[in-house]
Amino acid sequence: MTGLPVVPAPASIEALDAPPFRLTPDTVICGDAEAAAVLARLVATRTRGEVDPGTSIPAAPRAKRVETSARITLTIDPSTSSGTEDASATEAASGTGPGSDTPEAYALTVDEASIVVTGEGAAGLFYGIQTLGQLITRTRDGWTIPTVTISDTPRFAYRGVMLDVARHFHGVDTVKAYIDRAASLKFNALHLHLTDDQGWRLQLHSRPLLTEKASSTAVGGEAGGFYTQTDYREIVAYAAAHHMIVVPEIDLPGHTHAVSLAYPELCEQPVLSEHVRATAEEFGGGLPVNGTPYEGMAVGFSSLKIHDEATYSFLADVLGELAQLTPGPYLHIGGDECLGTSADDYAFFMARLTRLAAQTGKTPIAWHEAGSAPDLSPGTLGQYWGFVTPTDGMDEKSRRIVRGGGKLILSPADAIYLDMKFDADSPLGLTWANGVTTARRAYDWDPAGVIGGVEDEHILGVEAPLWSETVRTLADIDALAFPRIAAAAEAAWSPPGPASDVRTWESFAARVGALGPLWTSQGIGFSPLTEIAWAVDANTEGQS
Ligand code: ACM
C-alpha cells in the first residue's frame, strides 16, 4: 500500500520505486476512442493546457509517433481481474453498477515507458482514467505519473449523491457540473430530490398543473424553476455518459405542500406543530397555508389525503410517467418525516404506494421510516438517514426493510449529509445532525458498523445527500460538498478498514489534500478545511 493520492482508495495498489512516466508533447493516447477523449480532456485540464491533448496527444495516433513515443493504452477487457479475493465482497465486486450493464473493475499499470488502463467494461475504464487523472503530478521534471500497479473494484454496487432541487432549484448546467464531480469520485447514482413542500421541479404531461402552478418559488421566496422533460432527458443522458443513473424522488405522502398549489383537493390542511412555528421564528418563511407557496424551512406538516381514491389516481399518473422518463431501475418515493399522517394511515399508504411504484417495473426506494409500515411491496429498498449511532428505533425500522427482502442505502446524517455546517460562521449549511461537523466525522464510520445485524450483503450502497435550504449556486454546492464528499466516496467504494491499510483518517487526509491542485484545475471551489494539509503544484517556472 502507498500514500499515492487515489481517492477513493483502490482495492489493491503497489507503488514501485522506479522512474515515473513523463507526460510530454509526444505522449500518445491510443485504444478506446471514447475513453481517449475523456483522458485527453482530463490531462489538458489538469496540466492547465501545458500538455495539450488536442495536438500533442492525438486520440488516433499517427503510426510513426506510436513507435517512438511513450504511450497510454486504454482498453476494455471483460476478463480484467476484480482485484479482490475477499469472499465477503458484494455483487459489486464481480459485476456491474445498479443501472448499468458495464462492469466497474479496472487495472492500471504505469512504468517509465507506458501506461495501460484496462476496464472490465466501459465504466471500469472510465474509473481507471479518473484514478490516472488523480496521479498526474507536477514535479521539477514537468508533469509525471508515478510508477504503480493498481487493481480495483468497488465494495458496493450503489454509490450515490443526492441533490435537493426542491428547496432551491438547480438548473441543468449545475446538475451536469455535479455529475462531473461525482463521477470523478466513482459515484454511479444521482438521486434528484425533485419535489418538496417548497416546489415541484419536474414537468409531467399527465399533470401539467404541478409545474405550471407549483414550481415558481423556493425557500426564502426566491425564484424557483423546473426541468422540462427535455431538460430531464438531457440530465439522464449526461449522467449515463458518466456511468451514472438518475434516481428520481417524489417525496410522499408528506413533503407535499407544493401539490396543494396545483391540486388542493388532494391535500390535508397543514399540521402547525411547535416545530413548524419555531422554525418560522428562527428562519422566517411564515406558516404554511394550503394553496399558497411555502417559503420556509420547516418539515413534517403536509400530507396527501390517504383515504381518497383521487390520491391514488394522481400517484399512478405521476409514478407511471416518471418511470417512462427514467431508464434507471429505481423510483424513490420518499416516506420521511410524515408527522402530518397517523401511523395507521402511513402504513396503509406505504403499502399501496410501494406497490404502485413496483407496478411501473421499477424498484421502489423509501427513506427508512417506511420500515414502520408492515406491508411494503416485497423488495422495497430502504435509505437510512439516522445517525452513525442510531436513535429512536431507526435501526429497527431499517432492519425490517431488510427482513422484507430489501437492501439498504446508508446515508448517516451526522457523517455524510453534505449540507451540515463545518464553519459555524458561514451562512451555508445547517446544524441539526450533530453539526458543526468535520471532514473526519464524514470519514470515521463504516457502512457495516451502523445498524446491528446489517452487514455488507444487506447493503446496496452508500449515498451522500445535499439538502439545499441554504444552497443556491454551484459555488455553494462545492463549498459544502468538498472535501466531505470524498469521504462518502471512500465509504462506498473502498475495502473496509482491516482489508486495507490505507483506510485510516491520516491516510485519507493526506490523499485528499494531494487532490487540491486537481480540484482547483477543474474549477471545484472546495473548502480548504484546516484538518487537511492542502498540496499546491510544485513551481516549475524556470525549469524545463
Ligand atoms: C431526510 O433527511 N428527511 C431524509
CA of 336 to the centre of ligand 1 (A): 6
Strands 363-367, 381-384: pairing is parallel
Average pLDDT, the chain: 93
- The answer to whether 456 and 87 are in contact (CB under 8 A) is no
Residue 415 neighbours by CB under 8 Å, 6+ apart: 387, 388, 441, 442, 444, 445, 487, 488
Residue 361 neighbours by CB under 8 Å, 6+ apart: 323
Least confident of 70-74, 103-107, 181-185, 237-241: 70-74
CATH topology of domain 158-264+307-493: TIM Barrel (3.20.20)
pLDDT tens profile 112-145 = 999 999 999 999 999 999 999 999 999 988 999 9
Pick the catalytic residue from 120, 295, 321, 337. 337
The pLDDT value recorded for residue 21 is: 96
- The answer to whether 167 and 467 are in contact (CB under 8 A) is yes
Q: Which of 196, 279, 385, 418 to mutate to test the pocket of ligand 1 (most atoms within 8 A of CB)?
A: 385
Q: Which of 198, 255, 337, 339 to mutate to test the pocket of ligand 1 (most atoms within 8 A of CB)?
A: 337
Euclidean distance between CA atoms 2 and 253, whole angstroms: 49
3-class DSSP state for residue 461?
A: strand
| Ligand 1 atom nearest residue 383's Cα | 4
**Over 50: is that where the pLDDT of 94 sits?**
no
**Over 60: is that where the pLDDT of 88 sits?**
no
The pLDDT value recorded for residue 53 is: 56
pLDDT tens profile 43-78 = 999 999 998 754 334 444 444 444 556 789 999 999
The pLDDT value recorded for residue 54 is: 41
CA of 368 to the centre of ligand 1 (A): 9
Euclidean distance between CA atoms 526 and 482, whole angstroms: 5
CA of 385 to the centre of ligand 1 (A): 6
pLDDT tens profile 201-231 = 999 999 999 999 999 999 999 999 999 999 9
| Ligand 1 atom nearest residue 413's Cα | 2
- The answer to whether 417 and 433 are in contact (CB under 8 A) is yes
The pLDDT value recorded for residue 58 is: 44
CA-nearest of 255, 314, 318, 257 to 291 is 257
**Over 90: is that where the pLDDT of 81 sits?**
no
pLDDT tens profile 339-386 = 989 999 999 999 999 999 999 999 999 999 999 999 999 999 999 999
**Phi, psi of 22, deg, nearest 5:** -105, 130
Euclidean distance between CA atoms 68 and 395, whole angstroms: 60
3-class DSSP state for residue 161?
A: strand
The pLDDT value recorded for residue 309 is: 98
The pLDDT value recorded for residue 2 is: 57
The pLDDT value recorded for residue 412 is: 98
3-class DSSP state for residue 419?
A: coil
Instruction: Say how many C-beta atoms besides its own lie within 10 A of residue 140's C-beta.
Output: 10
Q: Which amino acid is at 219?
A: V
Which CATH class for the 12-152 domain? alpha beta
The pLDDT value recorded for residue 3 is: 80
The pLDDT value recorded for residue 100 is: 62
Residue 143 neighbours by CB under 8 Å, 6+ apart: 22, 23, 24, 46, 47, 50, 51, 136, 137
3-class DSSP state for residue 488?
A: helix
The pLDDT value recorded for residue 340 is: 81
pLDDT tens profile 270-321 = 999 999 999 999 999 999 999 999 999 999 999 999 999 999 999 999 999 9
- The answer to whether 246 and 192 are in contact (CB under 8 A) is yes
**Phi, psi of 44, deg, nearest 5:** -65, -40
Helices (H), 421-504: 439-443, 474-481, 484-493
- The answer to whether 248 and 332 are in contact (CB under 8 A) is yes
Q: Which amino acid is at 28?
A: V
Strands 459-466, 245-252: pairing is unpaired
Beta strands in 219-323 (DSSP E): 245-252
The pLDDT value recorded for residue 541 is: 53
Higher local confidence (pLDDT), 81 or 189:
189
Give residue for cell 510508477.
147
Instruction: Say how many C-beta atoms besides its own lie within 10 A of residue 533's C-beta.
Output: 12
Euclidean distance between CA atoms 67 and 69, whole angstroms: 6
Q: What is the number of residues in the chain? A: 544
Report the percentage of the chain scoring pLDDT > 90: 87
Cis before 248 (ω within 30) = no
Could you tell me how many helices (H) and strands (E) the chain has, helices first?
Answer: 18, 19
Euclidean distance between CA atoms 394 and 432, whole angstroms: 17
The pLDDT value recorded for residue 60 is: 46
Domain ranges of the chain: 12-152, 158-264+307-493
Euclidean distance between CA atoms 52 and 538, whole angstroms: 19
CA of 411 to the centre of ligand 1 (A): 10
The pLDDT value recorded for residue 90 is: 42
Q: Which of 162, 249, 336 to mutate to test the pocket of ligand 1 (most atoms within 8 A of CB)?
A: 336
| Ligand 1 atom nearest residue 337's Cα | 3
pLDDT tens profile 7-21 = 999 999 999 999 999
CA of 398 to the centre of ligand 1 (A): 14
| 274 given a catalytic annotation | no
Containing 363, the helix (H) or strand (E) segment is strand 363-367
The pLDDT value recorded for residue 69 is: 64
Nearest CA to ligand 1 atom 3: 336
pTM: 0.95
Euclidean distance between CA atoms 369 and 334, whole angstroms: 9
Residues having CB closer than 6 A to ligand 1 are 336-337, 367, 385
CA of 185 to the centre of ligand 1 (A): 24
pLDDT tens profile 379-401 = 999 999 999 999 999 999 999 99
Nearest CA to ligand 1 atom 2: 385
